[in-house]
Structure 1
Amino acid sequence: MPASMTGQTAIVTGGSRGICLAAAKAMLDRGANVCITGRHEEQLAEALAHLAAGNRAIAVAGHAAEAAHREETVATVMATFGSIDVLVNGVGINPYYGSLSDLPEDVAIKMYRTNVLAALEWFKLCEKAWMAEHGGSVVNLAAAGVYRGGPLLGAYCVTKAALVRLTEQLALEKAPLRIRFNAVAPATVRTKFAAKFWEGNEEAVAAAYPIGRAGEPEDVGEAIAFFASNDSSWITGQTLAIDGGLLLTTSVDSLA
């Protein structure tokens, strides 16, 4: 039986849909309080209705890469629930498909700022507000592309690889404070974010996976909840591939 998270509170960035919404649901099912974030208030309202968790779930709208939004969210969570035991860095962007040789510098900077630096900045606020004295768990959403690059996905894969290295470094630095850091690295999951890789081509995508299907948000959401909870209390600095066996094959064509 999964460990209870009753009395704990999680912030899930990018929690209005997809993998991170599934993670929020999985932690709520374990008894946690959850704050989801996202850029669009309407999507957040729909997500809260889907979660149907009453006063155990709240939402704060804003851009994860902006300091003011991060500060507002942390302050709101502390005022509402009194703790921040879990941080799920789920926000990521992938605005560029193509060769690294043609990657515009401003796009590269935007991707790094959102996919890597924002994760560190979110943690620093959570550490100061609660985790430094009480411990906690941080779960970063990477991608299977950290193991092998995919065609046209070089820039995205590089930022996710940096996120994994950040996970490992912080796991080492913060272990004495009992703050754990882990990451999940999914291959193609049937979300809007990854629609380019599966929509309209589902049979061919499924055939590429030894297990016979692409991923579902819940496949990754449950793994995130595992890392967030005390079920993984002696695990830190690890990255879990969630890929239906794709990395066992000799050809990797899509690692969103």
Structure 2
Amino acid sequence: MEELSYDFKVRKHKIEEILDNTDTVKEVDQFPNNEGFTYTNGYKAWAGAIFVDLRDSTSLFTEQEDVEIAKVVRGFTSEIIEMLRSGTEDKELKEIGIRGDCVFAVYSAPTKSDVYEIANRAFHINTYMKMLNKLLLDRDLPEIKAGIGLSISPTLAVKAGRKNSGINNLVWIGKSVATAAKLSDLGNKRGIQPIVMSKLFYDNMIELQVKKNSNKEPKSWYTKAYDEKFGDYYHACIIKEKFDDWINTGMK
């Protein structure tokens, strides 16, 4: 392989600029607009993450025709992205994207109502999976399952990439994103229900869910479990009733 056109002598000075000019990390109640992030600062605040991970994607990708795979993956990703971004502003939704067979989003979550709103998106997505599978079945396409992981934590966010290259993104340093990704891998297999949330996430949203469902017993919807890596966590299969009723009555 020939040498890259990479001038390591010049780039050494660029690296030194990066290392020497990153000078502030501010602890804030809420992450600023994306324009507030530069290549010299960072912010630490409460972040909430949701990961929606397609189950057994290896079998899907190896056993189905390419056109069928494309249809299923697009049906899976497009509406989940819509539900993750719907009704949000720049200060709330910090990042949304796709990693392999997983759709994810990261939100600023300074209040318990923010945490509940992330959970509410998970309930909608869980219900959507039922709708999607009915539509797939009608077209003789393979049905699919997903695990939905939820977590919150104080999180450091820094802008990374290369200035003026157009290649940059926020890097999330903390438990929220990593834990949500790992919890999504637990969901919808080995007896674990689809929605899986860290204990801290559950503790910060359950009171509001109880208040919003005063004629029901929301705490009974969850099962507490333990994992050596994550400690205590909660899992459930919660659906949005109005959405579910529409699905059950023919989606007309």
User: TM-score scaled by structure 1?
Assistant: 0.27
| Structure with the bigger percentage of strand | 2
Which structure has the larger Rg over C-alpha atoms? 2
User: TM-score scaled by structure 2?
Assistant: 0.27
